[in-house]
Structures are given as C-alpha cells and as structure tokens.
Structure 1
Amino acid sequence: MKNNVEFAEIIRTFFLKKSYRILSIDKIRSGNINGTYLIEIDFGDTRNKYVLQQINSEVFHRPYDLMSNLNEAIKHFNYKVISMPYNQISFCIPTYINSNGSKSLCQVEAIFWRLFHYIQDSYSLEIIHTVEQAYSVGYSLHSFHGVFCDLPKNKLLKPIKDFHNTKQYLKTYYKLFNSVSFDNLNFSIRDRVLRANRTIIDNQELITELDETLNSNKLTYMAIHGDPKVSNFLFDLKTDEVSAIIDLDTFYYGPALIDIADCIRSICNPHGEDAKNLTLNFFDMSLFDAFLRGYFKRRKFILTKYDMLNISLFMRIIIYELGIRFLTDYLIGNKVFSIEYNTQNLKRSEVQFNTLLTINANLSEINKNILRYI
C-alpha cells in the first residue's frame, strides 16, 4: 500500500483547481483484482467521499479500453433513464471524475488510477444472507439486462483477451500443470492440488457440451456485466434492496447466460468463495429459487427457451472455469487474484470444485426449478 504522500499526489490530479483537505484513506477489502480505497475529502463547505482504484495491469493490459466501455455504459444508461418507464430501472451505475481535467485515468509511472463518485447510503455483501436479498439481486440483474440488451456490439471492446473462454483457461492450466515441479510442494499441498486436478479431468466433458451450445448460434448475446458476483451489487441502507451495480471492468458483449450463471454461482454458496470449511460448502436451493423469482418477475423475457434450457450447463461451466482460474493463479504464484495467505487461491479452487460436485448431484432438481419459468 502506498503512503499518504503518494496517495495525495494521485488525488491532486483529479482536483487541480480546487482547494481541499484529505481526511481519510481506507483500503476496501472487497474485490479480488484491483486495489480499491475509500477517500474522504473536505472542500471547506462540503465533505465528499470517493472511491480511488488502481487498475491491475496483470489482468487489464489496456486500461483505456475499460474506460471506453464504461463511457458507453454510462451514455446508454443515461439515455435509458430518460426513455424507459421510471419503474423499469432499479439500479444506478458508477460514474467517475476525470484526471487533469480531461483524462479518464491518472497514470503514475506504469500504474493507472481512477476516481469514482461514492454511492451514498449503500452497503455491499460478500455473501447473501436471506432469500429477500437473493430475490433483489435477481430482479436487478434482469433490470440491468433490460437496460443494456440493445447496446450495439460495435460500441464495446473486449476487456480481457480470452475472457470467459473456458477452453483456453483449461488449455493454459494443463500446460502449466505439466510443467509444475511437485518437489517444491509439501505432501499436503501436493495432495490438494492433485485432488483438484482430478476434478478438472473428471468434468472436462463440460467443454464439449459448451462447444455444442456456442456453435448452435441459438444463444442470446448482449452487453453483459461479465462479473456479477454478490459484492458487485450495492444494497440500499433503508430498503435493503439493490440500489447499484458496480465494477463494470468486465462489461462486454457476450452470452447473457454468463451473467446469470455467475450470479447464481456467487449467490447460492452461502459461505462464499473464501469458505474456510469445505464441509459447510453447499449449493443453497432456497437462494437459487429466490434469484429465479426475482429475475423472471417481469414477464418481458430477455432469454429464449433455448437459453433457459442451458442455464444449468452455464452454471457448471462458470464454476468449473473459475476453479481452474483460481488453481492456475495459485500455481503461478498468485499474480491475478488478491490473497491474504499463500494458499488462498488453492482453497478458492477447492470451494468452486466442491460447489460443482454439489450441483452435479442436484442437477435434476435444479433443472426442474428452471423449467417452471419456461
């Protein structure tokens, strides 16, 4: 973490013509990729909060592409706020402040920073606690899709090469795994890695199913969030309903099922992706049902019947993919996902694979619940 003098120099670029005093700089622990800080500033007549964020260059190689996508999202959102009925948009999205008067990012050496307006009277969650929260997330994700489903593909850039390309993640993993020297791992860690590897091998037929589905040309594509996990939904302090959807770094054009599957993955593991005890890790059907009720509350369906018949496949794919990404990151030395201890990404992969096995065991019931909305 930088010292306060270094932070002050970065913040100064966003407020060149203003007199102010920095009151506090606190790291926000939520989020696995970018370094994020809550800043409070005194301008004399007002005190405002902002979110300062460092972009992880290990993940995002073209930071201005992120900001281009965000600009397109903001413009489209503002247009829809005017043109859509007031009760059809149940959320807001983040807006940012330019650096040096005109640039969307501040660059210090090779590091890029940006400053967002703080969304007042809201809170975030790492895990879902109630069916009401799961319902609200489902309802808001449908609202998000309703707003952005007609944003043209040519307006958006791909934020990460091969993002959500499960086959490529698997190929990269196998190449890495075959080069790993297990002599450097103690027996316990080696055993855990090998068990995770066995789960990857046992479920790789999912890739064949995914290829068939993608090649069918029947899936619904649109501008999607790309990473709609629980912590990217902010809840209103008074109503406890979703009031904002944040972190649009992965906003791009792709299958709508990616958003739905990833959101379900995050919601329905009540102990979160950092669960310490794998025996407590399970897929919560009550939260799953609540999410579906929320998403399909409005009868204006965005998904086709073909999409809906493949929800459970994408649920398994997205969990399988994330487990592979966590394990890969552990094996390369934890360069992508933030950690608090060395084996955290290994543990995260185990949580995902355990959730996958739980879903496989309950697939019939899961599909039955989905079919109620067709």
Structure 2
Amino acid sequence: MSTATFSISKIQNIAKNFAIEGDIESAKPFGSGHINDTIFIKNAETNSPDYLLQRINHHIFRDVEGVVVNIARVSAHLDHKLNGEFKTENGVERVLTLIPTLKGSLFFKDEDGNFWRMYHFIEDSVSYDLVSSAKQAYEGGEAFGRFQRMLADMDATLLTETLPNFHNIKFRLNNFYQALADDVKGRVKEIPEEIELIKSYEEFMCSLYEMGQAGKLPTRITHNDTKFNNILFDKNDRVICIIDLDTVMPGYVAYDFGDAIRSLVNTAEEDEADISKINVNMSLFKAYTEGYLKEAGNFLTPEEVESLYLAVFLFPYMQGIRFLTDYLQGDTYYKTAYPTHNLVRTRSQFQLFKKLWSHKSEIKSIIEAEQKVASA
C-alpha cells in the first residue's frame, strides 16, 4: 500500500492519536524505503518539532509489538550509553525517539488494520545512498562498530526475533529452490546463469552459517539492515544517528559488517541495469573496516573477525537470492517500479559479488591488518 492511498485528512487523524506538540501544517511521503511507508509531518508551530509518521508493513513485520518494543529497549540502552562513558567527541550523536500514543502505546492501529508509529524528525541531517568519500565510510564504520559495542553488554534474549531466519542463508536457499520448482510466473527460463552462480558458490556461502551452528560465534544484538542510508550525518559528515531499527534483534556481528559493505563499496545503485557500471571501491572498504574495527575490534572474538571476511561475499550473494526469489514468486515482497525490477536488482547484486570475489585476497589482508591495529 502506498502513502498515496492516504489523504491528508486521514494522515492528520492518525497523527492526532500520538502525543505530539503543535498542529500539522503539511504531510508528504518521505524517503525511499522498500518496506514501510514514511510520511514527513511538518509542524505549523515554529517552536514545535516536526515528526516522521510510519506505517509498519505488518505483512512483513507480523509481530508489530515485538518490533517497537525492541526499538524502545535498544534506544533506551543506547541513550544511556551516549550520555555516559560512550559520549562521542563531537557530542551530536543521538538515538531515535519513539512518540507514544495518547493512550501510552508505542504504536497505533487504525480502523483499516494498519499499524502506525511516530518518531521525532531529526533536523539538519542527510543520508547517502552512494558514499562519495573515505571520511564518510570511516565515520559509518565507526558508527556501526560503536552501535555493536554499546549493545555488547545488553542481554540479547531481551529482544524478540521479529524476522526469524532473516539472514539464514540455508533458509534463503530453500526458499529459492522452492520458488524455482514452483515457477509460478514462468520465469525460470530467464535465469540459467543466475542459477549456475548460486549453485557454484553455495557450499562456501554456508560456511558462516555452519560456524554459528557449531557455537563458534556468540549471539549479540545487531542492526541487521546496515545499508549506508540508515546512517544520518550532519553537514560536516559526522554521524548523528543510526536509523531504521525495525530489524534490531539477536544475530551475529558479521551480518552487520557484510550488509554494510554490500551497500558501501558498490560504485552504482542497487538496481543499476547496466552492470558495466558496477565495481568495488576498495578505498571505501578499507576506510569503513578501519573505522568499524577501531570501535568493535577489542570485543570481537577471533572467530568473529574471521566471519567478517565471509560476510563480505555472503551478503550480495544472499541479497541477490532474495531479489531473485521474489521475482520468481511474482514480486510480492519488495516494492518494484517495473516488471523486471527484481531481476535487475538480482543481476546487480551478483555482479557486485563477482567483483568482490576478484578482490578476496586484498579484502582478507585489510581485515587482518586493521584488526591488528585495533588490538594493539
């Protein structure tokens, strides 16, 4: 369902269920997320804050209460740390602030069965779909490394696993092979090269999963959706806040590292149709890894550091599988702009994987070298 479905009067009526200040001047769609609908609420009162109203996609996030409770608990923990021993040097880092409803709930359910939540809008911030400098990459690595470090002493069992098997490659492969067998849209004939690639690297890609199953990787609280545009920066490219906490739940640190690299080093957009434009920016990889391990390196186990290398390749491979599975099933999960959008996304991710694979020795060396610096 698109935000275009909702009239301004509908949005105003929904927003008035939350404990907001002032009156609503305007409301318009905001951001470019694939899953939820986000609306920017402009306050008519100049001294009152603006807000972001979000419709939570409850077809994907079926445990809406679990999602918002996870966000509230993690935000409270981070807020405590940021006002204590982990206060950042520039003093601007913040956490997301959920606005309760007038009845004290963290979400509102409307008469049509849609679930809504509201945040304070963070002013004077910017996010990047494509990273243009090593400074941005380094700051982003520090931000996600610090995020994990600040949550390292929080009991992961306090959080609900809101998306079971979200980064479980075995689960994703099983879904893919089922979609392949069903071929409900008759699209299998279009993807022989993609099928061959998936099968060729399947054993290697399951190695991180096997480490976890063998108990070699501790379960920690992780973000699980570390695309670079989930970091808000100020005008000086300093981190203000990590956003989009819907997927915060128990996981392995490598999940966050691999997904961040996937979005960071790509020289093209995630849905670039011309794969000749897709390459790997290794200077950004090095900068991000340096920033990340500066913050996270001291609490990671040797096995976790090893898993970072595996995750670099796993995440474009797995994301390509997810896009391709959705394409085979008729585009029911991701928002699409045209009929072959998910296929284009798939091929973009697999090209990125191939480019990363060609740098595997350099990637391993950089991780090992930066971990030595962090541990010194």
Per the normalisation by structure 1, the TM-score is: 0.92
Which residue does the alignment assign to 1:222? 220
2:294 alignment partner, SS class: coil
**Of 277, 283, 300, the match for 2:280:** 283
Pick closer, same or farther for the CA change 1:64–1:205 going to 2, 3 Å. Answer: same
Residue 322 of structure 2 aligns to which amino acid in structure 1? R
1:243 alignment partner, SS class: strand
Deviates most, 250-259 or 339-348: 339-348
**Of 190, 194, 204, the match for 1:196:** 194
Q: Please identify which structure carries the higher strand content.
A: 1
CA distance in 2 between partners of 1:295 and 1:209 (Å):
23
Runs of 4+ in 1 over 6 A off after TM superposition: none
1:97 alignment partner, SS class: coil
Per-residue CA shift, 1:178-217, capped at 9, x if unaligned? Answer: 11156x45xxx943x2322222112111244234322332
Pick closer, same or farther for the CA change 1:85–1:148 going to 2, 3 Å. Answer: closer
Deviates most, 78-87 or 266-275: 78-87
Which residue does the alignment assign to 2:72? 71
Per-residue CA shift, 1:16-66, capped at 9, x if unaligned? Answer: 8x662x2222212321111111110214x6343111111112210010100
Which residue does the alignment assign to 2:15? 11
2:52 alignment partner, SS class: strand
2:334 alignment partner, SS class: coil
Which residue does the alignment assign to 2:156? 153
Pick closer, same or farther for the CA change 1:82–1:176 going to 2, 3 Å. Answer: same
User: Any gaps of 5 or more consecutive residues in structure 1?
Assistant: none
Residue 144 of structure 2 aligns to which amino acid in structure 1? L
CA distance in 2 between partners of 1:181 and 1:105 (Å):
36
Residue 291 of structure 2 aligns to which amino acid in structure 1? G
Which residue does the alignment assign to 2:252? 255
Pick closer, same or farther for the CA change 1:232–1:298 going to 2, 3 Å. Answer: closer
**Of 95, 114, 117, the match for 1:114:** 117
Checking the alignment, whether the CA contact within 8 Å between 2:72 and 2:98 is kept in structure 1 is: no
Q: How does 1:176-325 map to 2 (within 5 A)?
A: 176-181=179-184, 184-185=186-187, 190-191=189-190, 193-237=191-235, 239-298=236-295, 301-325=298-322
Which residue does the alignment assign to 1:174? 177
Checking the alignment, whether the CA contact within 8 Å between 1:223 and 1:254 is kept in structure 2 is: yes
Which residue does the alignment assign to 2:134? 131
Residue 236 of structure 1 aligns to which amino acid in structure 2? D
CA distance in 2 between partners of 1:317 and 1:49 (Å):
39
Pick closer, same or farther for the CA change 1:149–1:122 going to 2, 3 Å. Answer: same
**Of 356, 359, 364, the match for 1:359:** 356
Asked whether 1:350 is paired with 2:351, we answer no
Residue 221 of structure 1 aligns to which amino acid in structure 2? T
Deviates most, 45-54 or 133-142: 45-54
What is the CA-CA distance between 1:309 and the residue it aligns to?
2.0
CA distance in 2 between partners of 1:63 and 1:131 (Å):
37
Checking the alignment, whether the CA contact within 8 Å between 1:105 and 1:114 is kept in structure 2 is: yes
Per-residue CA shift, 1:266-292, capped at 9, x if unaligned? Answer: 111121312231111112111101101
What is the CA-CA distance between 1:129 and the residue it aligns to?
1.1
CA distance in 2 between partners of 1:267 and 1:360 (Å):
16
Pick closer, same or farther for the CA change 1:209–1:85 going to 2, 3 Å. Answer: closer
Which residue does the alignment assign to 2:56? 55
2:26 alignment partner, SS class: strand
**Of 320, 326, 330, the match for 2:327:** 330
Q: Sequence identity, in percent?
A: 29
What is the CA-CA distance between 1:132 and the residue it aligns to?
1.0
CA distance in 2 between partners of 1:90 and 1:310 (Å):
32
Q: CA RMSD in A?
A: 2.0
What is the CA-CA distance between 1:104 and the residue it aligns to?
0.8
CA distance in 2 between partners of 1:301 and 1:116 (Å):
33
CA distance in 2 between partners of 1:117 and 1:327 (Å):
36
2:115 alignment partner, SS class: strand
Checking the alignment, whether the CA contact within 8 Å between 2:82 and 2:88 is kept in structure 1 is: no
Pick closer, same or farther for the CA change 1:362–1:300 going to 2, 3 Å. Answer: closer
Per-residue CA shift, 1:273-330, capped at 9, x if unaligned? Answer: 1223111111211110110121123486122222222222112122221111111112
Checking the alignment, whether the CA contact within 8 Å between 1:70 and 1:248 is kept in structure 2 is: yes
CA distance in 2 between partners of 1:244 and 1:75 (Å):
14
What is the CA-CA distance between 1:170 and the residue it aligns to?
0.7
User: Any gaps of 5 or more consecutive residues in structure 2?
Assistant: none
Per the normalisation by structure 2, the TM-score is: 0.91
1:325 alignment partner, SS class: helix
Residue 135 of structure 1 aligns to which amino acid in structure 2? Y
Checking the alignment, whether the CA contact within 8 Å between 1:31 and 1:231 is kept in structure 2 is: no
**Of 17, 21, 31, the match for 1:29:** 31
- Report the number of matched residues: 365
Residue 75 of structure 2 aligns to which amino acid in structure 1? I
